[in-house]
């Protein structure tokens, strides 16, 4: 029992002798908290203190852990411990050692799920950014996915997880997953995201929205403030292109070809892009139709989507297969009867359209009600 005590005392005494007065005062405060066993306050203090610029060194941080922190690590909040160790790990030069270090910490914090998740996210970040081990990263992401989805509430770890996952999917070129994880990240912890990276992130998300399979809900991205960061930059055209996709505006898409075909990924995927905007155009047509005009003729679709007549049916079948719309095709009559369109995040004008539809419906009901009132007299009389 007397063995660890002198180490801590000696370590703290040594640290207080630093020439930096401000730092010395910090160490004095830390010593007081330690001596009085105020673990929670000590944790809060250390979370910020450990980020002090003069401490950003592998040796210093490891000594801090080994000589000081390890003596009471089981007494403090595990999540706080992980937050402190995040800085320690960042400064370890050999990243494999860093991962092993984190693995050892797992046992010590396993009573707190959040801490374990956070620790795994940190490992994933190391694999992805430093060791370039995609398989290990993928394994961690898949392990955590189910766990985090089942967690009852959104924790700070969720944002970090989605950031890790989105970076991984961008690296391996999976646009759909990147888009989804990216949006979930923005939904979780947008506040902590540095503003100077908004534009780049918006650009990448925009490209992923265009290139991703199965991504037909662009309204959510368009409604998010991050996209405004593209205004005034050389990539402002991407905003316009995304709006064109959202409304299925093929003319605009064609007009902007000179601009977007400069991006190699977009140029290579022109066929897919064209198919996607055609599908979105079909969705928009279906959405705008009034309830009493459910039949859309092949001719109209061909006009709006700029497709040859033969390919209209294939487009409709594609939309039906993806469950973007529901309906039946009557090839003999040359029409398709649409009964449903997939719910999407709408912009203001689209909402106005929907509101007017409801108003029309209410008007129709009111008329029917009056008609019933008038006719009821005859029924009552007879």
Partner 1 sequence: MDTYLFDGGRITKMEVDYEPACNEKIPLAKELAKKNPDAFHEAIEMMLQLEKQTRLGADMVSCSRVLVAICQICFDASNWNALNEYVSLLVRRRSQLKQAVVKMIQECVTYVDKTPDKETKLKLIDTLRSVTEGKIYVEIERARLTKILADIKEADGDVAGAATVMEELQVETYGSMDKREKVELILEQMRLCLLKEDYVSTQIIAKKISIKFFDDPAQHDLKLKFYYLMIQLNRDTSFLNTSRHYQAIAEPPRKKTGLTPVDSAASTDEQKKKDDDKKKKEEDDKDKKPEVATEAEVEIELTEEQKKELTEKLVCAVLYCVLAPFDNEQSDMMAHLSKNKKLEEVPAYKEILRLFMSKELINFDTFNADFGLVLAENEMFKDSTKHGKKCITELKDRLIEHNIRIIAMYYSRLHLARMSELLNLPTSRCEEYLSKLANTDTIRVKIDRPAGIIYFTQKKSASDILNNWATDVNQLMSLVNKTCHLINKEECVYSVMCAVED
Using the contact rule CB under 8 A, the part of the chain among 88-96, 111-119, 161-169, 314-322 near partner 1 is: 314-322
Q: How far is the CB of 277 from partner 1 (least distance, A)?
A: 19
Residue 284 CB, nearest distance to partner 1 (Å)?
20
Q: Which is nearer to partner 1, 169 or 253 (CB)?
A: 169
Nearer to partner 1, 52 or 289 (CB): 289
d(CA 120, CA 253): 43
Q: Which two tokens stand for residue 315?
A: 């487009």
Site string for partner 1, 315-354 (x = CB under 8 A): -xxx-xx------xxxxx----x-----------------
How far apart CA 162 and CA 117 sit, in angstroms, is 12
Closest to partner 1 by CB, 154 vs 365, is 365
Short-list 118, 128, 191, 130, CA closest to 165: 128
Regarding 314 and contact with partner 1 (CB under 8 A), the answer is: yes
Q: How far is the CB of 297 from partner 1 (least distance, A)?
A: 15
Q: How many CB atoms lie within 10 A of CB 265?
A: 13
Of 214 and 225, nearer to partner 1 (C-beta) is: 214
Burial 170-180 (b: 16+ CB within 10 A, else e): beeebbebbbb
Q: Rounded to the nearest whole angstrom, what is the least distance from the CB of residue 222 to partner 1 in the complex?
A: 21
Contacts 24+ apart (CB under 8 A), 6-14: 7/67, 7/71, 8/34, 8/67, 8/68, 8/71, 11/63, 11/67, 11/68, 12/68
For residue 308, the minimal CB distance to partner 1 (Å) is 14
Nearest to partner 1 of 25, 134 (CB atom): 134
Query: Shortest Cβ distance from residue 331 to partner 1 (Å)?
Result: 4
Q: Which is nearer to partner 1, 1 or 332 (CB)?
A: 332
Task: Select 11 or 287, whichever has its Cβ closest to partner 1.
Answer: 287
What SS3 class is residue 335? strand
The least distance separating partner 1 from the CB of residue 216, rounded to whole angstroms, comes to: 16
Partner residues linked to 328 by β-bridges: 337
Q: Which residues of 40-73 are buried (b: 16+ CB within 10 A; e: fewer)?
A: eebbbbbbebbeeeebeeeeebeebbebbbebbb
User: Total binding residues for partner 1 by CB under 8 A?
Assistant: 14
Contact footprint for partner 1 (CB under 8 A): 313-314, 316-318, 320-321, 328-332, 337, 358
């Amino acid at each position: 029992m007397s063995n660890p005590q002198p180490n801590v005392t000696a370590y703290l005494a040594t640290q207080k002798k630093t020439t930096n007065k401000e730092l010395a005062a910090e160490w004095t405060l830390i010593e007081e908290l330690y001596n009085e066993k105020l673990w929670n306050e000590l944790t809060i203090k250390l979370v910020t203190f450990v980020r002090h610029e003069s401490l950003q060194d592998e040796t210093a941080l490891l000594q801090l852990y080994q000589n000081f922190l390890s003596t009471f690590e089981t007494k403090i909040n595990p999540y706080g411990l992980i937050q402190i160790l995040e800085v320690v790990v960042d400064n370890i030069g050999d990243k494999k050692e860093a991962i092993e270090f984190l693995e050892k910490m797992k046992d010590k914090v396993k009573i707190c799920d959040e801490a374990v998740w956070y620790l795994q996210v940190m490992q994933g970040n190391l694999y992805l950014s430093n060791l370039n081990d995609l398989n290990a990263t993928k394994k961690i992401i898949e392990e955590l996915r189910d766990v985090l989805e089942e967690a009852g509430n959104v924790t700070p770890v969720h944002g970090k997880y989605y950031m890790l996952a989105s970076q991984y999917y961008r690296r391996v070129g999976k646009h759909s997953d990147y888009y989804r994880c990216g949006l979930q990240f923005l939904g979780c912890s947008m506040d902590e995201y540095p503003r100077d990276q908004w534009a780049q992130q918006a650009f990448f998300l925009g490209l992923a929205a265009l290139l991703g399979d199965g991504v037909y809900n662009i309204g959510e991205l368009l409604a998010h403030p991050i996209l405004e960061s593209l205004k005034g930059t050389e990539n402002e055209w991407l905003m316009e292109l995304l709006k064109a996709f959202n409304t299925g505006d093929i003319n605009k898409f064609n007009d902007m070809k000179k601009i977007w075909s400069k991006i190699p990924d977009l140029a290579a995927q022109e066929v897919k892009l064209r198919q996607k905007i055609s599908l979105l155009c079909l969705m928009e047509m279906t959405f705008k139709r009034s309830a009493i005009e459910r039949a859309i003729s092949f001719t109209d679709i061909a006009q709006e989507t700029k497709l040859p007549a033969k390919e209209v049916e294939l487009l409709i079948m594609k939309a039906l297969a993806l469950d973007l719309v529901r309906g039946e095709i009557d090839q003999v009559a040359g029409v398709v009867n649409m009964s449903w369109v997939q719910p999407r995040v709408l912009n203001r004008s689209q909402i106005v359209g929907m509101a007017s539809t409801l108003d029309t419906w209410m008007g129709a009901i009111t008329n029917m009600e009056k008609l019933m009132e008038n006719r009821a007299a005859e029924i009552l009389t007879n």
